[in-house]
Structure 1
Amino acid sequence: MSFPFPDPPTALSLADARRSLSVTRSSVAELSTKIDAAEAALAQVVRESQYVISELQIEKQMLEKQLLDTMAYLSPIRTLPQELLRNIFMWCFEEHPCCAWVLAGVCPAWRALALKMPRLWSKIRLLTTQHASADTIRLWLERSGDTVPLDIEIFLRVSTKSSASESTSQRRRRRSLSPSPSPPPWPMSFAHNPAVPAHYVIPHTPISPTGLAILPPPQTPIILPPSPGGPHDTWLSAHHHSSERPSRSSLHWGHIAIYYLAEQMHRWERFIFRFDKHFTSMGALKSINGDAPLMKEFEVSSAEAAFYPEWQWLPNASANATLVLPKLETLTLQYTPFKWSSPMLRSNLHSLNLRALPTAHLPLDRILFIIANNPALESLTLHFQGVLPPILPLAPTTLPLLKTFHIGGHYILSQLVDSLSLPVLDSLTLDIEAREPIEDTISSLLARSSNPPLTHLSVAYGSSSGSSTFYYGPSGIVISWTTLLLELGGLESLYIGGTPLEPLLMALGVPDDDNNGMTAWACPKLKALGMRNCHAHSEGVVKLVQMVEARNPAQSNGGSTSASMVGGVTPVRLKTLELYDCASLGQDVVEWLKSRVEEVVCTEPEYER
């Protein structure tokens, strides 16, 4: 559009421009008014349409809910008799002990039925902290009724400010290690179940940065119940993460929880309580006292040693006390106080696991007294850091049913082993602070027991104190592997710690009178070999490769290749090889080992990292 006025302007053109400017402004104002009116009309139409859509959506939701309700009403499960539904609930219960919390949350009818089934609430599986509500236990017990036997497993994580503080160098060093480089920090029986629990009711609990926890084995999906006090309750105190001072709930958690549990001792069938650290209200365990006519298994275990007074609780009952424990078969007490003369330790047990406090110093004959009073033992685990010489002479003791024997701690315990005869022994673990060649103790035990069918042997392997505890002189914990290993023809797994690497590997290699003095294959059935803190010299890696090459020759294209036959015996192939802090192998050697052995785990010595 061309400009209508001449240039330069004249008086007449300026007057025309002023008139045109006035007309244009009026037109712009008029158009703006029309636009505003049109936009307002459009907004009104949109509002009305949105309102109509909203009403239609509400109506649709109501119809969809009605549709779902009708479909649910027509569902075949509604016609299922309650007796069959009860059976289905019980099948779920057998696989998932905590399923009652989920079943009770499905619908009012299922909740009512679940609350009428005390058996459904009879297995308590709880991983918690002392900051969580102890009312969870009360609610669980109330729903289990008054007569149903109780199967209780409670695992308490005790969080402390010191455990949360860790230096950057410590974290960096831990990240650099391979998986499972060292024995677990908790006692023996804890080490069998180190995985994260999966079928336990778990209030929201933070995991300690140090990784210390006492955990049950995984089985089924995690079940999270509602907070027992209502929807606005929280599992943890608000001060749990921020305050350095313990909350009031944490100070009294043990007294509340154990009070509820001890009231139901007459219904205990299994009672397992484990905790990873000393906690404020731990004295509440003293209230575990009295009769438990249904109890088959009892365990109170700590992963950390601490000082305890002599509580007057069930394991500390006097020798003359009358305890009603007719069905007790399994007893585990780890880093908790007990008396050697307690009637609880004279209950004809089938499984006994005792890890004494460091401050406890028992004469050796009294430890033997505990064993002799349980002749039906099938599994025995003992660990005593402090042991006194025997007061009375040690009497020879035979345990005709014992298959699993673990013993560790003070060197005097080797005299205890020398007093035992175990004719059906299958698994032997020795973590004794040896002062003499441990091979004599093992050989004498086997000979005295008429050479039982031993398939597992572990010597100085589980100790966290390092090889120095077990290394005495140039030959280590075993003087002659030749003599010992020839006696173990049925051995399938061997785990050794704190011994020179080369003699052990030579003894397990090809029999050769000139090199290793062996006339037959040592342990021809050996499938698993583990070594920890076994110091190696220059030939250590070479001997390792030679041993694996002899037992696990290279696979041929047409199938497996067997090792050479000596004296009509061919050894089986190794399936598991573990070396922790033994020698610096090199990545090429590790890859070669993995090509010959199914499972290989290696960590380098600490001074090499």
Structure 2
Amino acid sequence: MSLPVFAEPPTKETLADARRILEETRVSVRDFNTRIDAAEAALAQIVRDSQYAIREMEEQRSALQKQVAYAMSYLSPLRRLPLELLREIFLWSFEDQPCSAWVLAAVCTSWRRLALRTPLIWSKIRLMTTQHTSADTIRLWLERSGNDVPLDIEIFLRVAHAKPKPDVPSLRVRRTPSTLAPLTPSWNVSFPSHTLPSHYMVSHPPAVGNAPIALPPSPTTSQENLSSPFGGHSQERSPNTVPLSSMHWGHIVFFYLAQQMKRWERFVFRFDKQFTSMGALKAINGDAPCLKEFEVSSVEAAFFAEWPWLPNASSSTTVDLPNLRTVTLQHTPFKWCSPMLRGLHTLNLRALPTSHLPLDRILHILSNNPQLKTVALHFQGVLPAILPLKNLTLSHVHSLTLGGHFLLTQLLDSLTLPILESLILDIEARDAMEDVISSLLTRSNRPPIQQLSIAYGVVANAATFYYGPGGIVITWTTLLSELPHLKTLTIGGTALEPLLIALGLPEDDPNQSQTLVWACPALEVLGLRSCHAHNEGVTKLVQMVEARNPEHGTAPAIGGVTPAKLSRLEFHECTSLGEDVMQWLETRIEEVICSDPANDRSPLAHPYL
């Protein structure tokens, strides 16, 4: 539509025509607005009708898809599988994943009924929890395990939540072991991704073994009716609402557990610090005819009273523990004459700081267990022997760990260990350690030691320990020549150069007539921590690596012996190596872990500085 043409200049007649045309145009605009509104309303109604029709078709399709899924489920070959075979599959799954019962019971109604009728798959309790969660989780687990199946229990109580660690850009940082090291392995509480939902994944470095640990929800009174064990309430609570049950968590849990002591085959309970209901451990008392392994460990070295529990039973107490072979008690009270500390194969004791046992009573603990194979003892307080110490031969011990008070060197002087393979010493030594170790090797007829560690671990309350000149091995050449089978050597707090010279290429000594031999020809792993070095420390390290790991071929044979190549080198808080030396070491050794001493000079973090 073209625009009207008006004459110029405006006249009375043209102005009247313009007013008329304006009014007619406005009427036409209003008419079109009305027609457009009617068309839009009609279109909106068509869209609503179409959307409604689409929704109806989608609901019908969803119903049909459910019918298809139900029909396919009914036609599934697995549904035709006999229950006996399905139960066997459940048992296979349980062997690989001890917590699989929770997942199997959540698949469908028939699987849930079968899972609940199979007590064996509920017999391994793997629980990482806090005292704010419901203690009825344990009750539920125990009820489903029946009345006769032996129980394998691992419970990890997280009282204090650890702060998240910053990302580590490289391997050249200080790696601090657990405060329980070296007496206890790391706590592996990682969750396999194919076992639990993503929101239950927990990354927590320092559990015994590689078994996964489940984190079920807090059960409610209707827990048995839930289709999935991972439903329920979130464990995150408002900071202003602390459930009253948290004060009694331990009493409730150990009430249920103690009722089933007759079925305990393995019991592991670890907690990171003291908690309100810790006195509930007193309930661990009485007979446990199936028990093979027992552990109660605390990370925190707290001060406890002597609970009237099984490890504190007197020697005259009659307790039925015929199968007990492994005991671990760390930062918990025990008596040296307890009937629990008899006839063991593995013994791991870390005494309370307030415990001060005479040396002869510690030796008495070992003498009550002539079949010991693995021993780890840490006593921060030791008193001189009351009765004369007797020589004790432990013919089956292949691993010995001693840590703590300097009087423990006298305990080492009383032992004969003919098949010893691993020796770890973290004692506040006052005398030269090489004399004590050499005497042990001589008495034991040169056992095939493959691992030796001296003052290398980081222990709790490290500031109280002293590694002075008397505790430093001085004559490395003599000691290392007595260890031809040694594969792993970790040393802390010694002079760096003499050790590296002893491990390097043998050299003639004009003052002595001797046959040149490689020191520790089987050595593969070398760890050095807080070893003070002079100007030639880095040079001696390079020379030692060059001798044992030449760029081409193998090291030269001396005395008919060719040494093994180093496969791992740990170098912590000793001296600065420099980027060029690090790059060179990485070309010669498969794995190199180095931390610069300038990164951390805290005396608590580095007890040997």
Residues 459-486 of structure 1, C-alpha deviation per residue, up to 9 Å, x if partnerless? 111134779945433x861020011000
Separation of aligned partners in 2, 1:109 and 1:127: 29
Residues 417-471 of structure 1, C-alpha deviation per residue, up to 9 Å, x if partnerless? 1001111111111111110000111111111011111111111111347799454
Distance apart, 1:21 and its partner CA:
1.4
Separation of aligned partners in 1, 2:525 and 2:25: 99
Distance apart, 1:246 and its partner CA:
5.0
Distance apart, 1:515 and its partner CA:
9.5
Contact 1:186/1:214 (8 A) holds in 2: no
Identity %: 58
Residue 228 (1) aligns with residue 195 (2): no
Distance apart, 1:257 and its partner CA:
1.2
Contact 2:518/2:561 (8 A) holds in 1: yes
Among residues 264, 281, 285, which one is paired with 1:268 in the alignment?
A: 264
Change (3 A) 1:413 1:202: farther
Higher relative contact order (CA 8 A, sep 6+): 2
Distance apart, 1:516 and its partner CA:
12
Residue 604 (1) aligns with residue 599 (2): no
> Unpaired segments of 5 or more residues in structure 1?
556-560
Change (3 A) 1:491 1:448: same
Name the SS of the counterpart of 2:593 in structure 1.
strand
Q: Which amino acid aligns with 1:295?
A: L
Residues 33-75 of structure 1, C-alpha deviation per residue, up to 9 Å, x if partnerless? 1111111111111111111111111111111111111111000
Bigger CA drift: 434-443 or 199-208?
199-208
Contact 1:536/1:582 (8 A) holds in 2: yes
Residue 71 (1) aligns with residue 103 (2): no
Residue 553 (1) aligns with residue 554 (2): no
For normalisation by structure 2, the TM-score amounts to: 0.91
Separation of aligned partners in 1, 2:598 and 2:260: 50
Task: Please name the residue that 1:184 is paired with.
Answer: 178
Task: Please name the residue that 2:468 is paired with.
Answer: 472
Q: Mapping of 1:177-256 within 5 angstroms?
A: 178-193=172-187, 196-198=190-192, 214-216=206-208, 218=210, 225=216, 227-229=218-220, 230=223, 233-236=232-235, 238-239=237-238, 242-243=239-240, 247-256=243-252
Q: Which amino acid aligns with 2:367?
A: A
Task: Please name the residue that 1:576 is paired with.
Answer: 568
Separation of aligned partners in 2, 1:194 and 1:563: 39
Name the SS of the counterpart of 2:184 in structure 1.
helix
Residues 290-315 of structure 1, C-alpha deviation per residue, up to 9 Å, x if partnerless? 11010000000011100101100010
Task: Please name the residue that 1:391 is paired with.
Answer: 386
Among residues 503, 523, 539, which one is paired with 1:542 in the alignment?
A: 539
Residues 255-281 of structure 1, C-alpha deviation per residue, up to 9 Å, x if partnerless? 111111111111100000001111111
Residues 385-408 of structure 1, C-alpha deviation per residue, up to 9 Å, x if partnerless? 000000000011111111111111
Residue 595 (1) aligns with residue 594 (2): no
Bigger CA drift: 356-365 or 19-28?
19-28
Task: Please name the residue that 1:333 is paired with.
Answer: 329
Separation of aligned partners in 1, 2:169 and 2:251: 38
Q: Number of residues paired by the alignment?
A: 588
Distance apart, 1:215 and its partner CA:
4.4
Task: Please name the residue that 2:358 is paired with.
Answer: 363
Name the SS of the counterpart of 2:127 in structure 1.
strand
Separation of aligned partners in 2, 1:65 and 1:215: 43
Distance apart, 1:9 and its partner CA:
1.7
Distance apart, 1:238 and its partner CA:
1.3
Distance apart, 1:193 and its partner CA:
4.0
Contact 1:186/1:304 (8 A) holds in 2: no
Among residues 341, 347, 352, which one is paired with 1:345 in the alignment?
A: 341
Separation of aligned partners in 2, 1:352 and 1:516: 47
Q: Which amino acid aligns with 2:429?
A: A
Residues 555-577 of structure 1, C-alpha deviation per residue, up to 9 Å, x if partnerless? 3xxxxx11011111110101111
Distance apart, 1:606 and its partner CA:
3.8
Distance apart, 1:26 and its partner CA:
1.0
Separation of aligned partners in 2, 1:195 and 1:565: 46
Contact 2:183/2:401 (8 A) holds in 1: no
Separation of aligned partners in 2, 1:8 and 1:516: 132
Task: Please name the residue that 2:287 is paired with.
Answer: 291
Residues 328-365 of structure 1, C-alpha deviation per residue, up to 9 Å, x if partnerless? 0000000000001111112x000000000000000000
Among residues 513, 519, 523, which one is paired with 2:520 in the alignment?
A: 523
Separation of aligned partners in 2, 1:452 and 1:298: 30
Contact 1:267/1:292 (8 A) holds in 2: yes
Separation of aligned partners in 2, 1:536 and 1:483: 21
Change (3 A) 1:362 1:223: closer
Change (3 A) 1:366 1:214: same
Contact 2:191/2:201 (8 A) holds in 1: no
Residues 524-561 of structure 1, C-alpha deviation per residue, up to 9 Å, x if partnerless? 00011101111111100000000000000003xxxxx1
Residues 138-157 of structure 1, C-alpha deviation per residue, up to 9 Å, x if partnerless? 11001001111000000111
Task: Please name the residue that 1:450 is paired with.
Answer: 445
Task: Please name the residue that 1:558 is paired with.
Answer: none
Among residues 461, 478, 491, which one is paired with 2:456 in the alignment?
A: 461
Bigger CA drift: 223-232 or 250-259?
223-232
Name the SS of the counterpart of 1:43 in structure 2.
helix
Change (3 A) 1:516 1:351: farther
Separation of aligned partners in 1, 2:275 and 2:406: 32
Residue 509 (1) aligns with residue 504 (2): yes
Separation of aligned partners in 1, 2:511 and 2:329: 44
Contact 2:176/2:458 (8 A) holds in 1: no
Distance apart, 1:376 and its partner CA:
0.3
Separation of aligned partners in 2, 1:19 and 1:33: 22
Task: Please name the residue that 2:19 is paired with.
Answer: 18
Q: Which amino acid aligns with 2:533?
A: A
Residues 197-216 of structure 1, C-alpha deviation per residue, up to 9 Å, x if partnerless? 549989978989xx7x6545
Task: Please name the residue that 1:31 is paired with.
Answer: 32
Q: Which amino acid aligns with 1:146?
A: N
Task: Please name the residue that 2:90 is paired with.
Answer: 89
